[in-house]
Amino acid sequence: MQSDIYKEVVRVKETQQEAALVTVIAASGSTPREEGAKMLVRADGSIFGTIGGGNIERQVIEEAAEVIRQGKPKRLCYRLKAGHELGMICGGDVEVFIEPIFSEPTMFIFGGGHIALPLVGMAGIAGFKIVVIDDRPEFSTKERFPEAEATITEDFSKAFSRVKVGKSSYIVIVTHGHKGDEKVLEGALATEAKYIGMIGSRAKNKAVFSHLLAKGFSQELLDTVHAPIGLKIGGQTPEEIAVSILAEVVQVRRAG
């Protein structure tokens, strides 16, 4: 069973989902499960494995949801005696450790131009796996972006069929024109990406949004897009703009 739990953890990571792993790290007296028992709690509340069922398991599942949301581990103690909040009468004490399980954060950079060059290096140092996509072959090569996990040459309207975007994905839209940006944004809005940011002036972004509204996208969904992209630090050079983009991505990643 333990090996199955670890296989499920790997599957969660490979499919870019979110979960929390619960481990019984101490158990004394009469308890539902022994030390080392594990349970995986997925973001939708479903579980794999068990730490014994009952009220303690229900409470731990609720706590695991908070761990997933905040991205921070938690250590909890429970007394399984009559009169305590769980209402269990096993008579023992249980201590559990809940740790978040996330896949490696991946930044998909659409557009291999001047801003992408410094952004790839900075994002790699910050711990992101990088994929660069451009419709121009000379702007999406391993030679141009040696730090990238992958470089893809593809029409922007077809690019999402070649990448796996999940809840640990961050999409940065910095193509060489507003038509490319609009194609990418249309595809990005159909994904579970944690972050979508698009470069451009407010006037240009307003025009792109207007086109997408006419195609049936909701204003509520468009409001989730970070546009203009990046924190407002007054950046002007490609390097400064890259800093502002990465800072905003990190802010979203760590906000929980």
Q: How far is CA 245 from CA 23, 125, 143, in A?
A: 37, 14, 23
Domain end, chosen from 77, 102, 127, is at: 102
Classify 220 in phi/psi space as left (phi over 0), alpha (psi -120 to 50) or beta.
alpha
Question: Any bridge partners for residue 101, and if so which?
Answer: 19
Q: With contact defined as beta carbons under 8 Å apart, do 116 and 132 qualify?
A: yes
Q: What is the CATH number of the domain that holds 236?
A: 3.40.50.720
Q: Are 131 and 193 in contact (CB under 8 A)?
A: no
- From first to last of its 256 residues, what are the pLDDT tens digits of the chain? 566 899 999 998 888 788 999 999 988 766 666 888 899 999 888 999 988 877 888 999 999 999 998 888 999 988 776 444 544 445 578 899 999 998 889 999 999 999 999 999 999 999 999 999 999 999 999 999 999 999 999 999 999 999 999 888 999 999 999 899 999 999 999 999 999 999 988 899 999 999 999 999 999 999 999 999 999 999 999 999 999 999 999 999 988 5
Predicted local confidence at residue 3, as pLDDT: 65
Let me know whether 226 and 122 are in one domain. yes
Domains: count for the chain: 2
- Residue-wise over 132-151: b if at least 16 C-beta within 10 A, else e? bbbbeeebbbeebbeebebb
Same-domain status, 220 and 121? yes
Query: Where is the domain boundary, 53, 78, 102?
Result: 102
By residue range, what is the domain housing residue 192? 106-255
Backbone angles phi, psi at 189, to 5 degrees: -65, -15
* Residue 9, burial from CB neighbour count under 10 angstroms (0-12, 13-18, 19+): middle
Order of strands, edge to edge, in the sheet holding 195-198?
Answer: 150-153, 129-134, 106-110, 169-173, 195-198
Residues 25 and 80 in one domain: yes
pTM strictly above 0.85: no
Q: pLDDT at position 211, please? A: 94
Q: Give residue 256's pLDDT.
A: 52
Nearby residues of 53 by Cβ (< 8 Å), 6 or more positions away: 32
Which 3 state secondary structure label does DSSP give 182?
Answer: helix
Give the pLDDT confidence score for residue 162 in this predicted structure. 94
